[in-house]
Amino acid sequence: MPEITKLSTMPIDDKYWEVLEEYRYATSIGVVVVPKGFKTDYASVPKIFRNIINSYGKHGRAAVVHDWLYSKKCNLNITREEADKIFLEIMEEWKVSKWKRILMYRLVRKFGASHFRKEA
């Protein structure tokens, strides 16, 4: 796996988790560095899908990297489409079931635009 450092998070409230140590992950665009202190909600799953997709699980690393790539604080020069492809790439690497990763990818493609590089 291209995970360079281990992901370490801690819940800070009912929705968000804080990254406790810098998290580094090698992707097709290079190494993505999620900084210590970054706040993530893991996967933002619409309520109607929560009975089949949790906010966390095998897709958790992909979700944290994706949240960072969508963050206004991220200074990597990538498009939303590229960020979404990295999300899919990491889910494939962690063997997220095909139906689940395709569904999650399609959901971020359809609904993610309003969150890309916006304030949390």
Q: Are 10 and 24 contacting, i.e. CB atoms less than 8 angstroms apart?
A: no
pTM for this model (two decimals): 0.90
**The predicted structure's pLDDT at residue 109:** 95
Average pLDDT over residues 92-103: 94
Tell me the per-residue pLDDT of 39-74, one tens digit each, with 9 for 90 and over: 998 877 666 666 666 666 788 899 999 999 999 999
What letter does residue 59 receive in the DSSP assignment?
Answer: T
- 33's enclosing H/E stretch is strand 30-34
**The predicted structure's pLDDT at residue 11:** 94
- How far, in Å, CA of 77 to CA of 90, rounded? 19
- How far, in Å, CA of 25 to CA of 5, rounded? 7
Tell me the per-residue pLDDT of 8-48, one tens digit each, with 9 for 90 and over: 999 999 889 999 999 999 999 999 999 999 999 887 766 66
Average pLDDT over residues 101-108: 92
- How far, in Å, CA of 47 to CA of 89, rounded? 24
Which amino acid is residue 62, in one-letter code?
A
